[in-house]
Amino acid sequence: MTSTLEGQSAPAAPPVRPVREVRVAIIGSGFAGLGMAIALRRRGETDFVVLERAHDVGGTWRDNTYPGAACDVQSNLYSFSFAPNPDWGRSYSEQPEIQAYLQDVTDRFGVRDHCLFGAAVSTARWDDAARRWLVRTSAGEFRAQVLVSAAGALADPAHPNIPGLDTFAGTVMHSARWNASHDLSGERVAVIGTGASAVQLVPAIQPIVDTVTVYQRTPAWVVPRTDRPVPPLVRRLYRFVPGMQKAIRGALYLLREFLVIGMAKRRRFLTPVGRLARAHLHRQVRDPKLRRALTPDYTIGCKRILISNDWFPAISAPNAELVTAGIAEVRPGSIVTTDGVERPTDTIVLATGFHVTDLPIAEKICGRDGRTLADVWSAGMVSNRSATVAGFPNLFLLVGPNVGVGHTSMVYMIESQVAYVDDALRTMDAEGLEVLETTPEAQAAYRDLIAKKSEGTVWLAGGCASWYLDKHGHNTTLWPDFTFRFRKLTRKLDRENYVGTPAGSADEEVAA
Interacting residues toward ligand NAP by CB under 6 A: 70-72, 154, 160, 175, 192-198, 200, 215, 217-218, 304, 351-354, 467
By beta-carbon proximity to ligand NAP, the closer residue of 194 and 454 is 194
Least Å distance, CB 385 to ligand NAP, is 22
Return d(Cα 457, Cα 261) in angstroms, integer: 10
Least Å distance, CB 305 to ligand NAP, is 10
What is the H or E stretch that residue 243 is in? helix 242-260
Return d(Cα 168, Cα 283) in angstroms, integer: 38
Least Å distance, CB 466 to ligand NAP, is 7
E strand segments, 96-139: 115-117, 121-127, 132-137
Is 420 in contact with 479 (CB distance < 8 Å)?
Answer: no
By beta-carbon proximity to ligand NAP, the closer residue of 215 and 486 is 215
What is the H or E stretch that residue 35 is in? helix 31-42
Amino acid identity at 85: N
By beta-carbon proximity to ligand NAP, the closer residue of 345 and 352 is 352
Strands 395-397 and 188-192: unpaired
By beta-carbon proximity to ligand NAP, the closer residue of 59 and 170 is 59
Least Å distance, CB 20 to ligand NAP, is 34
By beta-carbon proximity to ligand NAP, the closer residue of 53 and 304 is 304
By beta-carbon proximity to ligand NAP, the closer residue of 133 and 298 is 298
Return d(Cα 341, Cα 343) in angstroms, integer: 7
Amino acid identity at 152: G
Return d(Cα 72, Cα 95) in angstroms, integer: 11
What is the H or E stretch that residue 202 is in? helix 196-205
Least Å distance, CB 404 to ligand NAP, is 8
By beta-carbon proximity to ligand NAP, the closer residue of 121 and 405 is 405
Q: How far is CA 479 from CA 91, 406, 422, in A?
A: 26, 9, 21
Least Å distance, CB 303 to ligand NAP, is 6
Least Å distance, CB 193 to ligand NAP, is 3
Return d(Cα 317, Cα 206) in angstroms, integer: 8
By beta-carbon proximity to ligand NAP, the closer residue of 178 and 420 is 178
Task: From 387, 445, 439, select the one nearest 416 (Cα to Cα).
Answer: 387
Least Å distance, CB 215 to ligand NAP, is 6
Q: How far is CA 17 from CA 20, 21, 34, 134, 322, in A?
A: 9, 12, 26, 14, 54
